[in-house]
Every structure is written in structure tokens, then in C-alpha cells.
Structure 1
Amino acid sequence: SFLNILQLIGWTAIMVIICARAGDEILRALFGFSSPRLLLFVAGLVSTFWAFLETPWWKWMERVAVIALAGLSGVMTFVALQQVSFGELLRLRGEGSLPWGAGFDLVVAMPISWLPLVADYTRFARNTRGAFWGTWWGYFVASSWMYTVGLVSALTTGRTDPLPAMVVLGLGSIALAIVLFSTFTTTFLDIYSAAVSLLNVLPRFRQKIAVALFGALGTLLALVFPMERYESFLFLIGAVFVPLFGVVLVDYFMVRRRKAQPEELYDKCPPIVREALVSWILGVGVYTLFLRVFPGFGASVPSFLAAGGLYWVWRRRKGAWS
């Protein structure tokens, strides 16, 4: 929970920055006015307020945001593809500054960072089947599409930041307004889930106070967060959470054989499981080693296998001894 809180404060800062930049682009286009710092505070305040709202409001706003953003993405995809032919796209070659393995690790870090948040929202699902497939298809389709749109837009406009790319593609202030609204509906997830993670550790802590606290911390961090080090933030997330879920998944599917009961994970479970902790630390070390020494190979898979493998062997031997 503590690690999840830290990463969510970081994500809150990043999303607040993106939101403020979109708002600043709109103000400059419409009124010739620019105040990034003021907009950072406004973005943080609105996102925190969003997290205070009740579940029915979330459903309505998320539906509006998803439909609007999907429409914008469709238009952006169409406009970007008009700038260059499919054959030209296939002939383009990367500059090679980012090894393939490191790029793969960045892609893995994105979903792995959201994995601890899933249960905060799938608990509202009607059944487990819908919760699983809704999450899987929703993330897979949306992410694959967005990676494609981002790649094509960057190649056709020469801009790696999507906000200036929208301006270059002629999508204008309406598109930026949709991004602004959609960013609010995403940022509140970080703030709310950070509060939920804190309640896991301190169940008597008031949720609304936790929401206000993490909204404020994320906004303050946004004032100093170096967006040019965004990739380093993703690598840090990967180093922490990839081996962690290597242990979690092995424990559930291979050790407990999908028969874990809630009381086994809480009342009957010790505060620190030595096998899990040591396996996770090993996985973090393997990730760091491969990222620095073998970046072309990738660090996610070796880290996942090392942590999960050690935990599985350790638990099997412990079971045999007992």
C-alpha cells in the first residue's frame, strides 16, 4: 500500500501537469493569456474535488469523457494518417536512441502501474467475469490504439508531446478541451486510489481527509516534477511492481492454486512473509541490473521470472519440510 501511495502521488503530479498544459494551450489560443503555475493549482483543485464525488457521478462523467476522447482519438487518427501514407510509415526507421528492451519495459510499466488500482473499481462490477473482461479489453484496445496514434502523430508532426501535436494537426481548442476534461476524470483515480491504499493500512483514517491530503501532495509535487525524467519514473515503477506481481501471481495461481480465502490473506497471514519479501527484493535487483547492463534485452521478464521463481521454489521447499 505504501509503494502504491508513492507512485500514485507521482501519477497525480504528472496528470496535473498535463491538465495544466492543456488548459494553458486553450488560454493562449483564445485569450493570449498564459499562467502555467496558476493552472497547476486549478487542475489539482478540480481533480481533488472530483475524487470527493460519489460513485453515480463517476459513472456519468467517465462515460462522457470516454465517448468524447474516443471521438477525438478517431479524428486524430484520421487526420494523422492523411499526412503520410501507410507505406511511408513502414519505411521509417527509428534513430536507435532507445534500445528495444528498454522500450518494452516502458510499455510494461504502464499497465503494471495501474494493476494495483484495478480492484478499487472492479469491486463495483456486477460479476467477476465482467470485471475481468471489461478491464482486459478496455485497457488492451485503448492502449494499443493510443500507442499507434501517438507514434503516427509523432512521426507526422515531429512533436513528441501530444498537445502541440494536436495544434499542428489543426484540431484546435475543442480537442484540447476534451483532453482537459478527460485528464480530470483520470487524475481523480490516482487521488482516490491513494486514499484507498492508506485506508488499507489505517482503516480509521477518514477517506475525505486522505483525498484532500493526496490531492494537495500531488499538486505540490507537480510544481517541481521534472517531466523530462518521465521515463525514469516509469522505470522506477517497473522495478518495484513487476517483481511484486511476479510474487503475487505465483502465490495465487501456483502456490494457492486459485483457492485463496480472504481470512488467509488477512487474519491468518503474518505481517511480513519472509519468502515474498526476499523474492521481491531479488526481483528489484534483477530489474535494476538488466536495465543498466543489458538494456537491449529488457528487464521486466527477467525480474518477473526471478522473483516469482524464487518464491515458488522457496514455498515448495518449505511445504516439503513442514
Structure 2
Amino acid sequence: MHNTQQERAPSECSPLADTVERSLSLPGTFALWLGANVVVTTVLTGMFLVPDLTFYHAMWLVFIGSAIGIIPLVLIGVMGQKTGLTTMVLARGTYGRIGAMMPAWINLLALIAWSWIQALLAGMSLDYAISALTGYSNVALFTVLCEVIVVSIALKGHLGIERLEKIAAVLMMLLCGAVLYALNRHYDLPSVVEIETTGILGAGVIFDIVVATAFSWIPLAADYNRHCKSIKASVIGTWGGYVTATLIAMGLGATVSALSISIGFPQTYDPTALLNNVGFGLPAAFVIFFSVLTTNVMCVYSATLSYMSIKPSSGFLMPALVIGIISIIGGTIPGILDQFQNFLLIIGSVFIPAFSIMIVDYYLIDKKAYEPKKLVDQLEHLPKVNWVAIGIYIIGACLAYYLNWVSPSAIGASLPVFILTGGLYFLIQKIRVRSGSYSKQWSES
């Protein structure tokens, strides 16, 4: 069953629980999700919160939205911790051995798109730092260099990523603290709480953006939390690390946004723009660069695992290299950052219903269908496609599209779609279980 590449990296390529390294303690899990989420795209999201809302109102919504939005990720992470399976291998238990390829391909493409954005941002930040030190500027070159570093780290597997995120968590806390200190020293930082609101987006939309940001991380949950030593480490470490990181990152973006407006500067999320003239632009640039680097490593790694769930014989090395090259090319697409907010909403549309169904199916319908050996070694006992799950997923995705673009909801689309999709699936499958049709279909080859 295992090829040479799998023997060299068993914890990446062998998804059975008894072969997975349990390397993440509670502090390690906390650091993993903290380091992963103190990232420039989350800082950028924070810019959209102020001045639409007051600073305090925005931060309250960030806390509530991230605390609620992270729950599905925690639940998928627990599934990974209990089974030792990656997220997209777990999807076989919900969608069938062929049907699971649908969310796997969607996840693969979405993570590549994330990597495009991250690669460009990292290249821009490194370009600024090098330019400040030497006067040499070449964004394309530094984008390529950043992605080479990303792929090199991703090839070391989960242990390399875990070590990186622990270092990142400490450095990001120190660097963010230093940036806020510099902002307070050179500007009137308390003025951010006094800025007048515009109310363009509204609290409901902003809450939905915060929730959708948390939901966008769900596909990565089991990929990493399968290495947690305990359920306690998986639950508390993930929840605490993510919520803390989101408060820091979105808080920094909201602070810089409000401060830039209050001093008559063009609105921005980037502290480098405000600190460049006072000699602190270089540390601020490294905050952006390092945060992007750590998150992009996770994107490339999980994109590779998604491909491996589709093509198990591919091994780890070649898909990771190809995905890294595609990320480098995509990072040079003109205007890609202008589509970031729409991209976030699209991610919510395609992922929210998919994982709502998975969570309901595992926790409320048929946990036995997710036994590791069934999903890895005994695929012939699974149906090719669970058409009920596919059909309800399509309904949920259409509902998300309708509530996001056709008739935007005042409370956003994320939570309503999650609840309605999961509720519909639960209702239909309970009826099928009682009639006996569900269990019979699931045992047929």
C-alpha cells in the first residue's frame, strides 16, 4: 500500500490513526493556530471594520464572530484528532469515495488561490524591506523567493510547520507589540476610538465577514489537529489560538485604518505606510512578511494533502512542488488583491454548506462510517457517491450565493447557510435511517 515516498514521510502519507504522530500539545496547538492567523489578510480584513463601526463595536463583533465562527473548525479538528485522518479523507465518509473528490478539488483550488494572494503580499513586504536596506526593488523576484522558502518548509511536513508556527507565534506577538508601541509614540493612538462612523457595511455584514474568515480555515482543521495529543489540546488550543490571533490581527488592521483616517492619510491596513517616515517601517514590513510566510506554508501543505486524497499514489513531494510553482505564477496576476473581499465571500459559499453536512453526518447521523480503516483500506464498502449529501450541498451553495449577491441578508449569509444546510441534511437522513434506506445504501459497494 505504501510507496517509497510514503515510507520516508509516514505521518504525511499514511492517514490511519495508529501511524499518525501525536506531536501537538495544548500550547503547541495554541501556537499553531495563533501563528497561522496573525496574518496580513486578517489584518486587511480589520481595515474594513473601521470607520464603518466604532473601534469598540468592531472589536466586540470580532470577538463574538470569531468565537462562534471557529466552532465548526474545532469540530472538524476533533474528527481529525479522533481518527488520525486528514480533512478530505474524512469527506469520504460524508460524500462517498468518488463524491469526496468534489470538496477536495474545491479545497485544492481555493488554497491555491489563497497561496497566490499570500505569495504576492509576502513578496511586496520583502521587497519593501530589501529596498529600505539596499535600494534594490523587484517584487516579482521576491515573490518567487518567498514561495521557494514556503515550499521548502512545507516539504518538511507537519513537524517543520509546527516548529515554524511556534517561532512565528512568539515573533508575531513581539513584532505586533513593537508596531503598536511605535504608533502610540509617534501618533495619537487613543484617537482611534473617537473617529466618526460611516455605517456603510453595517454590523450584520461585518459580523458575517468575521464568521466567514473563521469558516475559511475549516478545510485545514483535521490536517493539523490529527496530530494533537488529546481532544483537550485540539479544542482549547484551536479555539484559544484562533480567537486570540483574530483579535490581534483584525485589531491591528482596524487601528491602523482608523489612525490613517484621523491624521488625514489615505486609508490603509499596512502599518509600514504610517511608520516609514519615523524610521520604523522596516520592522513593520517584517511583521507583514513573516505572517504571510507562515500561513502560506500551511496553504501549500494542505493543498498537497487535498490532492493526495484524490490521487493517493502521487506521494507528497511532486504535488507540493507543482502547487508551489502554480502559487508563484498566480502571485503575479495583476489586480488579484482587489478581489480579496469577494474571494472571501466565495470561499464561504462553497465551504460552509460542505462542512455543515460533514459535521452533522459525523456527530448526529453515522459516526461509524468514519472509522479510519473503512475510509482508507476498505473503500469498496462505501458508495461511490452519497447523492443526498451532494444534492443538499448544492442547495446550500445556491442559498449562500443568493444571500451574498442576489438578495444580501442583513445578518449575512454564513450562519444562516450553515444552520439551514445542516438542518436539512439532518432531517432527510433521519427519515432515511428510520426507513432503513440509509444504512443499506452505505454498506453496498
Does TM, scored on the shorter chain, surpass 0.5? Answer: yes
| Aligned match of 2:428 | 314
Rounded Cα–Cα distance in structure 1 between residues aligned with 2:184 and 2:399: 40
Answer with 19-28 or 30-39: which moved more: 30-39
- Deviation of 1:215 after TM superposition, in Å, equals 0.5
Rounded Cα–Cα distance in structure 1 between residues aligned with 2:337 and 2:278: 23
The match for 1:222 among 295, 314, 331 is 331
Indicate conservation of the 8 Å contact 2:176/2:287, yes or no: no
1:19-168 paired onto structure 2 within 5 Å = 19-80=122-183, 83-84=187-188, 86=190, 88-158=191-261, 159-162=267-270, 163-167=272-276
| Amino acid paired to 1:304 | F
Write out per-residue CA displacement over residues 120-164 of structure 1, whole angstroms, 9 at most, x where no aligned residue: 222222222212221111111111221112111111124423243
Rounded Cα–Cα distance in structure 1 between residues aligned with 2:226 and 2:159: 14
| Amino acid paired to 2:238 | T
| Amino acid paired to 1:291 | N
| Aligned match of 2:416 | 302
Matched, 1:211 2:320: yes
Rounded Cα–Cα distance in structure 2 between residues aligned with 1:224 and 1:129: 42
| Aligned match of 1:254 | 364
Indicate conservation of the 8 Å contact 1:105/1:300, yes or no: yes
Matched, 1:187 2:301: no
Matched, 1:232 2:335: no
- Deviation of 1:170 after TM superposition, in Å, equals 5.0
Rounded Cα–Cα distance in structure 2 between residues aligned with 1:210 and 1:148: 36
Rounded Cα–Cα distance in structure 2 between residues aligned with 1:269 and 1:66: 41
Rounded Cα–Cα distance in structure 2 between residues aligned with 1:231 and 1:55: 29
From the superposition, tell whether residues 207 and 147 of structure 1 become closer, same or farther in structure 2 (CA, over 3 Å). Answer: same
Indicate conservation of the 8 Å contact 1:102/1:291, yes or no: no
- Deviation of 1:186 after TM superposition, in Å, equals 1.9
The match for 1:290 among 390, 403, 409 is 403
What is the alpha-carbon root mean square deviation over aligned residues?
2.3
Gaps of 5+ in 1: none
From the superposition, tell whether residues 114 and 258 of structure 1 become closer, same or farther in structure 2 (CA, over 3 Å). Answer: farther
From the superposition, tell whether residues 93 and 304 of structure 1 become closer, same or farther in structure 2 (CA, over 3 Å). Answer: farther
Write out per-residue CA displacement over residues 241-273 of structure 1, whole angstroms, 9 at most, x where no aligned residue: 111121112112222379953355563432321
Indicate conservation of the 8 Å contact 2:143/2:328, yes or no: yes
Say which SS state the counterpart of residue 204 (structure 1) adopts.
helix
TM-score between the two structures when normalised by the length of structure 1: 0.91
From the superposition, tell whether residues 55 and 307 of structure 1 become closer, same or farther in structure 2 (CA, over 3 Å). Answer: closer
Answer with 286-295 or 16-25: which moved more: 286-295
From the superposition, tell whether residues 42 and 95 of structure 1 become closer, same or farther in structure 2 (CA, over 3 Å). Answer: same
Answer with 44-53 or 263-272: which moved more: 263-272
The match for 1:173 among 282, 289, 292 is 282
| Aligned match of 1:270 | 383
| Amino acid paired to 1:210 | P
From the superposition, tell whether residues 129 and 168 of structure 1 become closer, same or farther in structure 2 (CA, over 3 Å). Answer: farther
From the superposition, tell whether residues 33 and 145 of structure 1 become closer, same or farther in structure 2 (CA, over 3 Å). Answer: same
- Deviation of 1:285 after TM superposition, in Å, equals 1.1
From the superposition, tell whether residues 260 and 93 of structure 1 become closer, same or farther in structure 2 (CA, over 3 Å). Answer: farther
From the superposition, tell whether residues 15 and 318 of structure 1 become closer, same or farther in structure 2 (CA, over 3 Å). Answer: same
Indicate conservation of the 8 Å contact 1:22/1:179, yes or no: yes
Answer with 266-275 or 60-69: which moved more: 266-275
| Aligned match of 1:8 | 111
Rounded Cα–Cα distance in structure 2 between residues aligned with 1:60 and 1:253: 32
The match for 1:201 among 310, 314, 318 is 310
- Deviation of 1:295 after TM superposition, in Å, equals 4.1
Indicate conservation of the 8 Å contact 1:108/1:238, yes or no: no
Say which SS state the counterpart of residue 287 (structure 1) adopts.
helix
Rounded Cα–Cα distance in structure 1 between residues aligned with 2:385 and 2:373: 16
Say which SS state the counterpart of residue 146 (structure 2) adopts.
helix
Rounded Cα–Cα distance in structure 1 between residues aligned with 2:250 and 2:173: 14
Gaps of 5+ in 2: 1-103, 262-266, 437-445
Rounded Cα–Cα distance in structure 2 between residues aligned with 1:180 and 1:78: 19
- Deviation of 1:4 after TM superposition, in Å, equals 0.9
Aligned length: 321
TM-score between the two structures when normalised by the length of structure 2: 0.67
- Deviation of 1:194 after TM superposition, in Å, equals 0.7
- Deviation of 1:66 after TM superposition, in Å, equals 1.6
Say which SS state the counterpart of residue 312 (structure 2) adopts.
coil
